[in-house]
Structure formats: C-alpha cells, structure tokens
Chain A
C-alpha cells in the first residue's frame, strides 16, 4: 500500500477528519522504527513537531484556516536554518550551533501549517552526490541498504522515498535535489533561480543554490513549491514578481507541446537509464507531444565550468567558519593559528578539496583563466538553452547517469563522483527550472528518474509535462503487473 499523499493529509486535517497530532505521531513513529537503519535524519525535532501539530489542530478547532499544508509532516535538509533547532550542514565545524532565526522557506512552511519533524543528512555543506561526505556517516538507500541514496540531499530523498514523511526540502546547487530524487524514486525539482528565497539556506555556491521540494507525487511537489515560492525582500536575488501558477495545469496533458530530447543528457548515461528516457519520450509523443531529438554541445563543458564556479564561491562562503563567533573552536597561540586549527579539524576532506580548488581559481593571475573562463562558458550554456527553447517548449533527458550505486564505490575517485551530476549541472548554470520524475526501474530494479527542463519561470509548463510522465509511468507499471 502506498503511503498517503501530502494533499490527502492536508485535506483530511483541514476538514477535521484527522488531527495533525495523530499524523505527526505516526510520522515520528515511522522515523523511530526505520531511521536507525536508514540514517536519513541528523536531528528529530519531536517536541517542536508535536507543539506545531497541536497549534494546527487548535486552528482547525477554532475555525481558522490552518493553511494549505495543514498537519503535513515535512523533513528539512540540515543546511536550512531552523530557529533554536540544530543546523549543522553535516559538518563538525557547526557543531552545537542553533540558529537564532528561521529560513524564509521554513517560515512559509510553518505559516502553511506544515509540521517540521526533523533535519536530514547531507554531504557536508551540500558538497557531494552520495551523502557519504557527512560527518555523521552516510544515509542508506531506502530500497537497498548497501547503496547510496544519492546526494547531497540524500537524507531528504531517503526519508520521502522510504515513506517516513510525504514531503521534504533539499537544496540543489548542481543536482542535489534531482539526482537523489531519481535514485530514491521520488519527485524532486529545482526551481528557477530566484523563485525561492535563499535567505536562511546555508550558502554553498550562491549563484547556483536553489531550495527545491521532494515529494512522492508531482501534485504534492507542486503544492510544496507553491508554498515556498515567491518574492522575499531579504534575498536580493529573489525575483520580484508573483510566483507562477503551478498546480492548475497538472491535468492539461501535453497535446501540441514541443519536446526536445537532448543527446547530451542521454549519451553518457547507462543503457538501462537511456532506455527509460526513450520510453518516456515515446509516451509523451503518444499523448500528442511533438518530440524531436536535439543536441546542445555546450553542455559538455558544464561540469568543468561548474567545478570552477561552485568551489570558487564556496571558498568565500565558507571563510566565515573561523572559530571566532560560533560552532567549533580549536584554540591556538594566536588568531591565525586558531583559525587554521579550527578549520583543519572542522572540515572534512571533500570540503577542504573544494576550498582549495576555489581559492586557486580566484587567485591573482589565475582568475581570468579559470573563474573568468568558467563564467564565459556559463554564458554559452545559457545561450544554448535560449536557442533550444526557440524550437521546443521543454527539454527531456536523464536525471542521473546510473541508478543508485554501492556505498563506497566512488568515494576514492572524486571525478567519478562528480560525473554523477553531469545531467543536472547545466540547469544550475543557466538558472532554469528542472524536475526529476520517477519512470520505471533500471536493470537492477532500482528507480530511474527522467528529467524535464523548462525555460525560466515556466514551472507551470514543466509540471504539466511531469504530471503526464507520472501518468505514463503508472500506466507502464500497471501494464507490467498485468504482464502485457
């Protein structure tokens, strides 16, 4: 039996058929039962969750509007600031830090009646693709404990994939929502850059970071996005216009829509993954879409550009963890020695690697050759997308090159790990939205995600196609069960 959808829970709570408290208690019980094995959570905020649930129930009882996500349990990636609740980014360096404020998205969730049940595991400071780079140890895949859930938002993906919570938030800098969503068989999306406020998201690479939803259905993901999207005066890069209508178009179908299947989002993927993407394209064509193959050669430079821009920004963003004001401090004879000792002890190897890469890329004499050139590549990729969107309405490709891989397989080889994000990085560089929808399984029986990409602020159209793919996948699953 599949777990309940967020919208069904919210509906029942809003109508007074169920209490938020009972839903929350059930989620906390599920976490207590399953998480010792999964390790999706770094912190379960049981008391705060029950208090929040009781407030929702009081609102319902008093006849006040409890919000569109009333009583829906939600898990937050542990790089989203939560007032009074530990926020560690899975790093020793933030040990013991409790933010004095809520991220803007967290405030919006609370206002919408959602119940935050805990903080989920991630690669340290969101740097990684497997959730193995966590100071607290890895998260396991909900369907196979020997495999990774993907990353960096692996804890959120596993929590939703395992049915512990119907919704979760992650952050996506190079694919960190979409890739683990694909690996764990959930929906995961990255909004247009600036659609969702970054205020309170601990920065990794500021020009690429976006917060995005995990859900078990396209409709739930749309409902969550509608709650968190919209202008925030606290984020200067937040887009100052009304959030796009998302949920209304889910049943509109794809008749007449032009879909481009991107060669660069298929060629380097495993054959079983590529096959599912082809099937998805066929299903869209059968539903009336005009499907064509196209090529965006510029995408091949995306990974290289990303691994200069993201570490460069990270090297600056992570400077503040110096032992002076909060988190870990390892003493030394003077301030510089204390800074060094703190950072040496507080950061893990992947974070150190990226700080060094980024510091080098920004150094005097190297800036133009590395950071400057990477920014020019970024411009070329944006233009390539613009040209593609003159011909088609959405693009289609794989989300991740493979299904979930074994724990430990890629940790010794950073470049192999970096390749996990090759299909998702272009959308971060361009700032465009993209969504991963579960679409069947690979040869190993583990989930495959198909990725839909759309122009800036065309989330409505993107979700429209995603919903069609969800229906197509369900038809294929049903046909499979009937043995046809």
Chain B
C-alpha cells in the first residue's frame, strides 16, 4: 500500500450556453472573426455599464440545483488586477455571496464529491503572442481577441474530496454530463467550454491534516488533467521525502513537455482588492423563478443512463456501458430513446449515437430524432448495410434531418434481396474451388477473400455480416 495519499480539489469553469454575453447583447459564440462580437460594454469603454443577462442567472440556478446546492440571494464583486485581455482590468465575479453554495456530485462509482460553491462570473478575452515561436517570452507582440470577453461562466469549486487522477477524470466527466443535461453548457472541452484548475497536495496515508497544495492551471482536456495530476504527485512526493516541504504556488501545465512549471508563489499572489460591484444591484431570484429553473433541468445523467440500460435490457456488456456514458455525456441519449420508441433496437441506436453522432456534436444535437430513428430501423431491417447506413446518417446530420429512405434511393443504396446475395456467394464459391476447400478445412480468414469478391460483384451493396452468415451456412 502506498505511503502517500493524493488530495485533489477541482475548480471547473463552465461557459454558459446563452445566446448573448453576461452583461451586454453581443453574441456568445465560439470561432467568430476576432473582435467582431464586441461593443462598448464588453470592451470596457469609458462610460459603459453592465446589465445582467437573466438567462445566465437561470442556467446558473439550474447548475446549482442539479449539484444539490442551496440557491441563494447573491451579489457581484469586482476582482481587480491588470491583464491586457481583461478590458476593464477588473473581473466582475461573485465573491462572498455566491448564487449556489454547499452541494455534492455523485459519481457513477458511487463516490460523492462535495461542492463548495458554483458562482457566476465573466470570461476574459484571449491573447495570442505573435512572432517567432508563438511562446510568450519569444513573442514580438501580442494580439487580443475580445470576442470571449464577457462570456458568462459558472465556476464550480469542489471540496478536496478527490483522491486520484482517475477519480478526478470521472468527476469532470460526470460534471460535464450534468452541465450538458441541464442545458447549461455544450460541454466542449476542446473549445474551452469547460476549463479545469486542479489543487493538488499529498499527505501521509492516514494523516488528518492536508499537505501544502499547488494549483495547476491550463488543463484543457481530461488527458491533461490526468497527466498533470500524476506528474504533480510524482513531483511532490520526492520533494516531501527529501526536504519535507512543498512550496504553495500556482503552476502551469506544459502539455508538450509533460510537466508543471511554477507561475507564481503564494507571496507573489495578487491582492485582488475585492469590493462590491457598484454598477450592479443585488440578485435575489424569487421562488417562482427558482422553481422554473429547477423545473427546466429534466433528467440528470444517472437517470438518463438508467433509462438507456432499461432499453438495452438484461446486463449490458462492458462496451455498452462505455457507450451509454459517451451518449449521455454528450447529451445524445434522447435520440436513442426516440429511435427505440420508433421500433429500432436500442443496441444499434446506441452504437450509431456513440460513434457517428458523437463524432459531430453540433450536427448530432440539431438532428431530427425521427430521421435518426427511421434510419436505424432501415439498417436493422437490412434495407441498408452498415456502411450505407453511416453514409445516409452523414447526409441526415448535415441537413439536420430528412427522409433516410429517399436519401438511400438517391444514392442507389438498395439492399440486395436475400436471393441475390446467396447467388453472388454461390458464384464466388464455384469460381474458386481451391480457396473454398481451404476455407472449409478451417482457414477462416479466407472469409475475407470471398467477402471481397461478393462486394465487388454487387457493387458494394451487400452487407458484410450477411455474406459471412451465408458462407458459414454453405460450409455447414
């Protein structure tokens, strides 16, 4: 047993899926031309004033409710520090009176991570360093894009209840599923919709007191999160064993180098000079509004997974459990449920959702459930091969829906009748007696040889599985 125990607390910044920014009417969208979604307010021009986005408050309340927090009257503060991508050189955030306090999140492994708070704040712009290598220290100059400045965030702060990098990844995965299920976030870590800071310390197994923690920033994927925590533990343990001391500091995760590097020590920490934001009034959502927010949450991930398992029936295979996690985590489970309701087998709908739909979330989330259901039904009936079904699904996703039968007909995807398939297999077998003999003698890999011939003969319209079945039948 290890002599050291890892202690982790996570701060997750979640960009809210609102149409507009937190304090102005500029669009909240990812990937627009730099500095096109800006106005006097989010540029912090002299004389401009913030006006709070009601829907951002509603989404924050949904998050708090889903995380079992107490939703409270709250206030905004200014967090003062100079940074070029922060237009006002202060961030409007919630400080000592956040909207959500004291909840928990239960992970699929039944462990519980307590939530300290989940508060509202505004995002900053993005600085890109130009010239030479693109790295800060070698840059000639920097460009700032303020499109992200003022985008609404909810920062979810956990207690230091997490004990391993694997649990940290499970926590973020489950939290992401909650944020997607409540409609608060699109959950896209790769676009920065979820950003994680990890507070990591180690202590002797069995000790009561926490060790000195380091805060690790710039964790933009689950992989980074896991690697950074493991690296940090591997850094701290030998330090403690050799010197007994870890310096409290903020560290930056360098993904390429695979290590954390110091940013600033506790002594160098900013004095943010928090004080109540005088341009905003206290926020006190009335019970009716809170109830509306709570009512808009719908099913949470655990219930959604249970619903899929119910549709699958019996004890699901390990692969299916993973597929259920992916599909629920990405908010695609409603499509599977809808397909099942149209008569499609949940198993196949799940496979298509976990693979083809999850590969293009924006298109999948906009897809008409009826079209998806109809497609899975066609594939199940054998009217389309797997390859053909995927091709039709791509069309459906790019159009947001449509009639899969019409698309299949347009593409010339007519599934072969059983007779045609059997005839084609027979023909291939008769033309290659030697190979057939070896196949019958136990060389199973020759099935691929025959499948290729049949595919060529049918112009790719045959279903691979059906050919294999016919070959096995003939071999007897």
Q: Which residues of A contact B (CB under 8 A)?
A: 79-81, 87, 89, 94, 97, 99-101, 103, 198-203, 205-207, 233-237, 312-313, 315-316, 319-320, 322, 324-326, 335-336, 339, 359, 362-364, 367, 371
Contacts and interface: CB of A to CB of B under 8 A. Distances in A.
Contacts of A200: 47-48
Contacts of A205: 278
B51 A234 contact: yes
A335 B142 contact: yes
A302 B218 CA distance: 47
Q: Is the interface of A mostly helix, strand, loop or mixed?
A: loop
B88 interface: yes
A257 B115 CA distance: 58
Contact of B82 (A101, A237, A336, A364): A336
B44 A320 contact: yes
Nearest to A327: B46
B304 to A, nearest CB: 38
Contacts of B273: 315-316, 359, 362-364, 367
Contacts of A203: 46-47, 279
Contact of A100 (B45, B84, B279): B45
A89 B46 contact: yes
A30 to B, nearest CB: 29
Q: Is the interface of B mostly helix, strand, loop or mixed?
A: loop
A233 B82 CA distance: 29
A236 B47 contact: no
A316 B82 contact: no
Contacts of A89: 46
B280 interface: yes
B74 interface: no
Interface of B: 40, 43-52, 78, 80, 82, 84, 87-90, 142, 144, 271, 273-275, 278-281
Contacts, number: 97
B89 A363 contact: no
A359 B51 CA distance: 26
Contact of A99 (B47, B50, B142, B280): B47
Contacts of B281: 236-237
Nearest to B51: A236
B256 to A, nearest CB: 24
Given A89-B46, A94-B46, A319-B82, 17 more contacts: A81-B45, A87-B47, A99-B46, A198-B49, A199-B47, A206-B279, A237-B279, A237-B281, A315-B80, A316-B78, A316-B90, A319-B80, A319-B90, A320-B87, A339-B82, A362-B274, A364-B273
A203 B46 CA distance: 7
Nearest to B280: A236
A78 to B, nearest CB: 11
A295 B44 CA distance: 43
Contact of B84 (A81, A101, A236, A335): A335
Contacts of B52: 236
Contacts of A103: 47
Nearest to A343: B82
B340 to A, nearest CB: 47
Given A237-B279, A316-B273, A199 B90 contact: no
Interface centre among B90, B271, B273 (most CB of A within 10 A): B273
Contact of B45 (A206, A324, A326): A326
14 contacts: A99-B46, A200-B47, A234-B49, A236-B279, A315-B273, A319-B80, A319-B90, A320-B87, A325-B44, A326-B45, A339-B82, A363-B273, A364-B273, A367-B274
A325 B47 contact: no
A371 B44 CA distance: 24
A324 B43 CA distance: 11
Contacts of A316: 78, 80, 90, 273, 275
B51 A202 contact: no
A279 to B, nearest CB: 39
B137 to A, nearest CB: 10
Contact of B275 (A94, A335, A362): A362
A324 B141 CA distance: 12
Contacts of A198: 49
B46 A207 contact: no
Nearest to B44: A320
B51 A99 contact: no
**A-B residue pairs, 7 tightest by C-beta:** A319-B89, A362-B273, A207-B278, A206-B278, A202-B46, A200-B47, A81-B47
Nearest to A372: B275
A103 B51 CA distance: 15
Contact of B50 (A202, A236, A325, A335): A236
A200 B45 CA distance: 9
Contacts of A237: 278-281
A81 B46 contact: yes
Given A101-B40, A203-B47, A233-B51, A322 B80 contact: no
B131 to A, nearest CB: 14
Nearest to A194: B281
Interface centre among A101, A319, A363, A371 (most CB of B within 10 A): A319
A201 B47 contact: yes
A388 B364 CA distance: 66
Contacts of A313: 275, 278
B275 A371 contact: yes
B51 A363 contact: no
Contacts of B49: 198-199, 234-236
Interface centre among B44, B80, B82, B275 (most CB of A within 10 A): B275
A320 B84 CA distance: 9
Nearest to B52: A236
A347 B209 CA distance: 49
Contact of A320 (B46, B271, B274): B46
Interface centre among B40, B144, B274 (most CB of A within 10 A): B40
Contacts of B271: 363-364
A207 B279 CA distance: 7
Nearest to A103: B47
A201 B281 CA distance: 18
